[in-house]
Amino acid sequence: MSEESKPKNGNHSRMDGATIAWIVVVVVVTAIVSWFAFAAAYGVGVGSGNGNSSSSSGNSGGTTGGGGPDYVYLSINANPDISPPSADQYNPANFTVPAHTLLVFVITNYDTGENPVAPTFANVSGTVGNVEYLNGSTTGVSSVPASEVAHTFSFVGKSVYSGFNVAMPAASSTTPTVVMFHAYFNTTGAFVWNCMAPCDSWSMGTPGYMTGTMTVVA
Ligand SMILES: [Cu+2]
């Protein structure tokens, strides 16, 4: 801008009250939109009841690999292509996760079958806040009805992660059940998980189906 084109009238650049009010509105709206975008990107719950929502510094993902959490996507279905037919299967059943990192598990269950469990395996244990989030809800639940459980993701026995349990309610005929939870696994090694719902005895005893190995790496 040349000297000649600068405004000579001092009042020209002065903002009146309405202009200031508009700027405040724009800034506030931008801040709100940014927060929702951040929450979506980092899996931070927006509602109450989420263990991570109390973080005021923004980054709840620690310092590993750029700061965000790592997502772990698993699905559960009845695989019609293997013998015995329609064996229940996690996909993948064997996977690797980083230690000391906020993990966001998203498990999509397409199995409509209910395999009622003992109350222990209907409770959520070992996740952040000892809760799971069902079908996109931002309110965590600490258990699901034992009679409605289709499958679980559990560590039992002598595993260092023994006691960890998440339960997947059965899907409806038209809509899968989506279970989300946050977790940290801080001991490295290879750990066998099991489904503890009595779903399919062949699958429950066959690695790669209703049991598998979670490898935690440094
Ligand atoms: Cu199962």
Please answer whether residues 178 and 136 qualify as being in contact, where contact means their C-beta atoms are separated by less than 8 angstroms: yes
Distance 112 CA to ligand 1 centre (A): 12
Distance 78 CA to ligand 1 centre (A): 10
**Residue 51 to residue 129: CA distance in whole angstroms:** 5
Please answer whether residues 72 and 97 qualify as being in contact, where contact means their C-beta atoms are separated by less than 8 angstroms: yes
Distance 21 CA to ligand 1 centre (A): 57
Residue 36: its pLDDT value, please?
Answer: 40
Distance 49 CA to ligand 1 centre (A): 28
Residue 211 host element (H or E): strand 211-217
Distance 167 CA to ligand 1 centre (A): 10
- pLDDT (tens digit per residue) in 49-68: 333 332 333 333 333 445 67
- More confidently predicted of 11 and 56: 11
Distance 14 CA to ligand 1 centre (A): 68
Mean pLDDT of 175-186: 98
Distance 190 CA to ligand 1 centre (A): 20
**Residue 46 to residue 188: CA distance in whole angstroms:** 31
The pTM of the whole model exceeds 0.75: no
Tell me the fold of 64-217. Answer: Immunoglobulin-like (2.60.40)
Distance 169 CA to ligand 1 centre (A): 11
- pLDDT (tens digit per residue) in 13-41: 444 555 444 433 443 343 433 434 434 44
The pLDDT-based confidence of 11 (bands split at 50, 70, 90) is very low
Beta strand 133-134 with 177-183: parallel, antiparallel or unpaired?
A: antiparallel
Alpha helices in 134-189 (DSSP H): none
Which of these, 136, 191, 133, lies nearest to 163 by C-alpha position? 191
Residue 28 host element (H or E): helix 17-42
**Residue 218 to residue 43: CA distance in whole angstroms:** 22
